């Protein structure tokens, strides 16, 4: 018996990186997993390997959210789990950040999860409730240089989590945010040097499986938690070591 037997789970940005590992982890516990992404070849390959469903889906598009949910319900029934995982990053000093780039990052990282929460709620009501996990970042807990749009989007997602948790509690829908530090995925290729991790208590990059185990706990076992943050960052946001 799995912890999630028969529960339908939708994971955005599931074609690679952490999303693909969340898919594998939830499926191993019996969930019926649907991954969505804009990378169709990679998404189809992951779906084929795991024997799950892949659907094309740009998270910034409300119409595509509606059709992904309709299609998922047609194939597998109402959805009980949403992992808002799709995200993008871009490194530019705030004064050099184009408005188009700002809007793109906010649209994918913050508006996307908002649309997901909004459009999936009727589906979750049909199964008596559900769990929504918003993948924020340590960039939703502190600031980082050259990442103003990303940091703003991830702080926004942390706030959206709290507001949505309050609105949806009566529907038995829990909403939580996850705040990974550096994790080995295509997103961190090139910045995963030991130098970037030597000041944190656990002096290494995280592995996607370490975040997926936390997501599984939140979905399956964290029945008394909603609206709150779960950090997995090797201690990066704990504080500063003082040399005295």
Ligand X SMILES: NC(=O)c1ccc[n+]([C@@H]2O[C@H](COP(=O)([O-])OP(=O)(O)OC[C@H]3O[C@@H](n4cnc5c(N)ncnc54)[C@H](O)[C@@H]3O)[C@@H](O)[C@H]2O)c1
Q: Can residue 79 be called a binding residue for ligand X (CB under 6 A)? A: no
Q: Can residue 188 be called a binding residue for ligand X (CB under 6 A)? A: yes
- Cα–Cα distance list, 210 to 124, 182, 188, 216 (Å): 27, 11, 16, 10
Q: Can residue 78 be called a binding residue for ligand X (CB under 6 A)? A: no
Q: Can residue 7 be called a binding residue for ligand X (CB under 6 A)? A: no
* Rg of the Cα atoms in the chain: 17
Residue pointed to by tokens 């910045």: 191
Query: Which of 160, 189, 237, 219 is closest to 33 using CA atoms?
Result: 219
Residue 63: helix, strand or coil by DSSP?
A: helix
**Which residues are paired to 83 by β-bridges?**
11, 133
Active-site residue flag, 54: no
- Contact predicate 58/38, CB 8 Å: yes
Nearer to ligand X by Cβ, of 14 and 130: the residue is: 14
Min separation Cβ 93 and ligand X, Å:
19
Question: What's the CA gap between 97 and 146, in Å, rounded?
Answer: 9
Taking contact as CB under 6 A, which single stretch among the options 55-63, 90-98, 122-130, 165-173 is the one that binds ligand X? Answer: 55-63
Which of residues 111, 177, 185, 200 is near ligand X by CB under 6 A? 185
Binding mask 136-175 for ligand X (x = CB under 6 A): -x--------------------------------------
Question: Which entry of 150, 197, 217, 224 is annotated as an active-site residue?
Answer: 150
Tokens of 58: 């740009």
For residue 234, the surrounding DSSP H or E stretch is none
Question: What's the CA gap between 62 and 133, in Å, rounded?
Answer: 19
Min separation Cβ 67 and ligand X, Å:
14
Q: Can residue 8 be called a binding residue for ligand X (CB under 6 A)? A: no
Q: Can residue 187 be called a binding residue for ligand X (CB under 6 A)? A: yes
Residue 159: helix, strand or coil by DSSP?
A: helix
Which of residues 11, 108, 151, 216 is near ligand X by CB under 6 A? 108
- Residues catalogued as catalytic: 150
List of residues contacting ligand X (CB under 6 A): 12-13, 15-19, 37-39, 57-60, 85-88, 108, 135, 137, 180, 182-183, 185-188
């Amino acid at each position: 018996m799995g912890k999630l037997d028969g529960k339908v789970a939708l994971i955005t940005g599931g074609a690679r990186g952490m999303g693909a590992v969340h898919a594998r982890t939830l499926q191993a516990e019996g969930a019926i997993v649907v991954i969505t992404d804009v990378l169709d070849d990679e998404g189809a390959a992951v779906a084929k390997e795991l024997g799950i469903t892949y659907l094309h889906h740009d998270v910034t598009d409300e119409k595509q959210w509606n059709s992904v949910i309709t299609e998922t319900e047609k194939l597998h029934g109402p959805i009980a789990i949403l992992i808002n995982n799709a995200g993008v990053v871009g490194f530019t000093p705030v004064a050099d950040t184009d408005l188009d780039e700002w809007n793109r990052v906010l649209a994918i990282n913050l508006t996307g999860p908002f649309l997901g929460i909004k459009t999936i709620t009727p589906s979750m009501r049909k199964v008596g409730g559900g769990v929504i996990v918003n993948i924020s970042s340590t960039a939703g807990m502190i600031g980082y240089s050259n990442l103003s749009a990303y940091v703003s989007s991830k702080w926004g997602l942390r706030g959206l989590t709290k507001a949505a948790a309050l609105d949806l509690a009566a529907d038995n829908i829990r909403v939580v945010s996850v705040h990974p530090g550096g994790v080995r995925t295509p997103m961190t290729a090139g910045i995963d040097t030991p130098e970037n991790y030597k000041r944190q208590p656990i002096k290494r990059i995280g592995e996607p499986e370490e975040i997926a185990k936390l997501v599984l706990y939140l979905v399956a076992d964290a029945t008394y938690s909603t609206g709150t943050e779960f950090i997995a960052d090797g201690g990066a946001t704990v504080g500063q070591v003082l040399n005295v």
